[in-house]
Amino acid sequence: MAFDQQLKERSFRFVNNNDLIAEVPPMDLLLRYWHIDQLIYIDESGKLHPGVSMFRRVLDGLKGLRRDFGKLGFDTLKDHKMNNYVQAVRKYVEDLKTGQQTPIS
In this prediction, residue 84 has a pLDDT band, given cuts at 50, 70 and 90, of very high
Strands of 13-16's sheet in order across:
13-16, 39-42, 48-50
Q: Which residues contact 22 (CB under 8 A, 6 or more apart)?
A: 13, 14, 15, 16, 80
pTM metric for this prediction: 0.73
Per the CB < 8 A criterion, the answer to whether 46 and 88 are in contact is yes
Share above pLDDT 70 across residues of the chain, in percent, rounded to a whole number: 74
Task: Indicate the length of the chain as a whole number.
Answer: 105
Coil/strand/helix, residue 17? coil
pLDDT per residue as tens digits for the range 40-74? 899 888 889 888 888 888 888 788 778 777 666 67
